[in-house]
Amino acid sequence: MSSTNNPTPVNYIMPEKHQRGMKARTKWCKPLREELTTIERYNILAHKVFSKAADIELDNSQNRKTILQVVPVETEKWNAVREVIYLFVRNGRIMKIGGSRTGMKKRWGSYKCGHCVPERPMKNGQPYPGKMSVTNAHLYHTIEDDLLKGNTWEFWTWTLPTVSVTVDIMGTDTTVIAQTYHAYESRCMEMFKTESGDMPQLCDNADPNYR
């Protein structure tokens, strides 16, 4: 498929904050192709378990160094600490499927660490040491670049049921909360692959234990 990483329109005046990030975007931004699977189609296949959770927008504030922000649909739901499956949706089409044990606020905080690449300066003017996740760095700068080109990005989420199990710990029955999101995540990826013929382009492979 052809790339949709189109040049920024010549009449667009880029805020200074984002001008300073051009070197970082050049290094970390990934080219994007047009995905075929829409969120509407996928959600029908998933029995409509997903709902829009937030818009991902450029953060033009000069008071913060980070350049992306989210605008949650429901703040309480966004901040909830529980298992969730999430979709990155670009222009209505799914780009990435992920899962989190601790909810969206903390997961987004992890993605924002992708800002801290050596091509960007810290407050003291020195470059970041480059200890960030490479995956987060690619995703963060790809989204920034694409938003600057006028495309839209959203989070859609599925809040998973809490699963409790009772286990014997040294002779005492103990109720624990099971971690299940990785199984749900893998099933969601496989359903996408069945529908589209491939994994979402910004996605890692599904857990082989749940294929």
Residue 47 is assigned to a structural domain of this protein: yes
Can you read off the two tokens belonging to residue 158? Answer: 């599925």
Domain enclosing residue 77, as ranges = 16-201
Residue 4 is assigned to a structural domain of this protein: no
Can you read off the two tokens belonging to residue 168? Answer: 């014997």
- For residues 10 and 179, give the distance between their C-alpha atoms in angstroms, rounded to a whole number: 49
Residue 160 banded pLDDT, cuts 50, 70, 90: very high
Q: What angle do CA 6, 9, 14 make, to 5 degrees?
A: 110
Residue 160 is assigned to a structural domain of this protein: yes
* Number of domains within the chain: 1
**Mean pLDDT of all residues in 160-169:** 94
* Main-chain phi, psi angles of 160, to 5 degrees: -85, 150
Residue 3 pLDDT > 90: no
Q: pLDDT digit string (tens) for 79-98?
A: 999 999 999 999 999 999 99
Residue 135 pLDDT > 90: yes
Residue 62, sorted as left (phi over 0), alpha (psi -120 to 50) or beta, turns out to be: alpha
- For residues 209 and 118, give the distance between their C-alpha atoms in angstroms, rounded to a whole number: 36
Residue 207 is assigned to a structural domain of this protein: no
Question: In this structure, what CATH number is given to the domain that contains residue 148?
Answer: 3.40.1440.50
Residue 9 is assigned to a structural domain of this protein: no
Query: H/E element holding 173?
Result: strand 172-177
Residue 7 is assigned to a structural domain of this protein: no
Per the DSSP assignment, residues forming a β-bridge with 155 are 54, 88
Minimum mean pLDDT range among 4-13, 117-126, 148-157 = 4-13
Residue 206 pLDDT > 70: no
Q: Determine the length of the chain.
A: 211
- For residues 139 and 157, give the distance between their C-alpha atoms in angstroms, rounded to a whole number: 18
Residue 164 burial by CB count (10 A; 0-12/13-18/19+): exposed, middle or buried? exposed
Can you read off the two tokens belonging to residue 27? Answer: 């290094």
Residue 92 is assigned to a structural domain of this protein: yes
| CB of 39 closer than 8 Å to CB of 156 | yes
